[in-house]
Amino acid sequence: MEKIGILTGGGDCPGLNAVIRAVVRRSRALGYDVVGVKNGWAGLIDGDVEPLTTFSVTGILPRGGTILGTSRTNPYKNAESIQKLKNNWRKFGLNYLVAVGGEDTLGVAQRLNQEGYPIVGVPKTIDNDLAGTDYTFGFDTAVQIVTEAIDRLHTTAESHKRVMVVEVMGRHTGWIAAYSGMAGGADCILVPERKFNLHDVCALIKKRIDRGREFAIVVVAEGATPAETDHAITRTGRLDEFGHEQLGGIGEWLGQRIEEITGIETRVTVLGHVQRGGTPTAADRVLATRVGLKAVELIHNKDFGHMAALRGTEIVSVPIEEALREKPLDPKVFDDAAVFFG
């Protein structure tokens, strides 16, 4: 019996367990054995795998996170790691692999596939910034979580007559900021795609106050960049194994300066990993299930080097390389949100 491996790499995301469940159920129905690779690519390097059965995935549909664990391990960082990975592929008798992840995980999958390892992909990111697919599972849940936070902050902002700055995820794109900001009625939204002028933001807040609205909600993506700098704000300068700098700090930077310039008491909420956690929404469960089923179909049809993607209402096969391009926020979405600024 042929064997399919599945791994989840990169940041965790609501809906991952729904993908795992779908892959196992469809694979078993088609006569494949399934092996779960623990902790992303690290599991294939370290030889940490476990058999997955229908019983293994019972009850995991509504659970957040991933039962397989995850990591940001880059096996191509050194020759020893990639050789261990390839040795373990043979050792565990893998015939195929489903790689669930973002641009880094899928980038490794693409490279291995080009070297002759039959791999298919499932795009995953709460940021919704992967090209090749209209939406990624996890995004809807993240937007729901942020929107609920904005709703709650509205009441305390209004009660205390404060400016509330809400920092959300979005390294290079502002999908979460724009969607949750629009849904939550934010008075200003700042995204990585458009540099912002600090004094323009403060003028907008002052204009709102002058109209008698004595509070404001500002939503800012972690990768948003002030016009006076040429780089995003960071706290530590640390890099992960794929060379990405750890962002964070724009909320505090912005909140401090808004208070200094406007004289209005300002508080900052950094939602951080709260956006990744918890139960996936119904929409994310359905999308994750559908792309998981499609991934097995790709393997069964020998459509390697491709991933399961959402186009309109259909789940289709597209080359993994398409996911390695960034998908910026649709400017029309931002313009729609901007109608309600101030």
What are φ and ψ of residue 239, in 5° steps? -115, 145
Task: Tell me the pairing of strands 314-319 and 306-311.
Answer: antiparallel
Percent of the chain with pLDDT strictly greater than 90: 90
Give helix then strand counts, H and E, for the chain.
10, 13
154 CA to centre of own chain: 26
Q: How confident is the model at residue 228 (pLDDT cuts 50, 70, 90)?
A: confident
Per-residue pLDDT tens digits for 282-311: 999 999 999 999 999 999 999 999 999 999
* pLDDT at residue 241, rounded to an integer: 56
Would you call 127 a catalytic residue per the annotation?
yes
Question: CB–CB of 43/106 below 8 Å?
Answer: no
Question: CB–CB of 36/69 below 8 Å?
Answer: no
Q: How confident is the model at residue 236 (pLDDT cuts 50, 70, 90)?
A: low
Beta strands in the chain (DSSP E): 3-8, 33-37, 49-52, 96-101, 119-123, 163-168, 188-190, 216-221, 234-239, 245-247, 266-270, 306-311, 314-319
Per-residue pLDDT tens digits for 96-152: 999 999 999 999 999 999 999 999 999 999 999 999 999 999 999 999 999 999 999
Angle at CA of residue 240, ends 141 and 175, nearest 5°: 30
Q: What is the mean pLDDT of the chain?
A: 94
Q: In 3D, which of 114, 128, 111, 124 has the Cα closest to residue 7? A: 124
Q: How confident is the model at residue 239 (pLDDT cuts 50, 70, 90)?
A: low
* pLDDT at residue 342, rounded to an integer: 87
Mean pLDDT over 311-331 rounds to: 95
Task: Give every strand in the sheet of 119-123, ordered side by side.
Answer: 49-52, 33-37, 3-8, 96-101, 119-123, 306-311, 314-319
The answer to whether residue 235 scores a pLDDT higher than 80 is no
Per-residue pLDDT tens digits for 204-217: 999 999 998 999 99
Per-residue pLDDT tens digits for 153-168: 999 999 999 999 999 9
Mean pLDDT over 301-328 rounds to: 96
Question: CB–CB of 225/197 below 8 Å?
Answer: no
Query: Which DSSP category does 274 fall into?
Result: G
Mean pLDDT over 33-57 rounds to: 97
Percent of the chain with pLDDT strictly greater than 70: 94
Domains belonging to the chain, first-starting first, are 3-137+280-324 (3.40.50.450), 139-276 (3.40.50.460)
Task: Write the DSSP assignment of 99-150 as a string of letters.
Answer: EEESHHHHHHHHHHHHTT--EEEEE--TT--BTTSS--TTHHHHHHHHHHHH
Q: How confident is the model at residue 323 (pLDDT cuts 50, 70, 90)?
A: confident
Distance (Å) of CA 231 to CA 52, 81, 170, 172, 247: 44, 32, 14, 11, 11
Q: How confident is the model at residue 231 (pLDDT cuts 50, 70, 90)?
A: low
Mean pLDDT over 8-23 rounds to: 97
Q: Which of 33, 127, 129, 187 is catalytic?
A: 127
Per-residue pLDDT tens digits for 244-259: 555 668 999 999 999 9
Q: How confident is the model at residue 31 (pLDDT cuts 50, 70, 90)?
A: very high
Q: In 3D, which of 48, 47, 111, 124 has the Cα closest to residue 74? A: 111
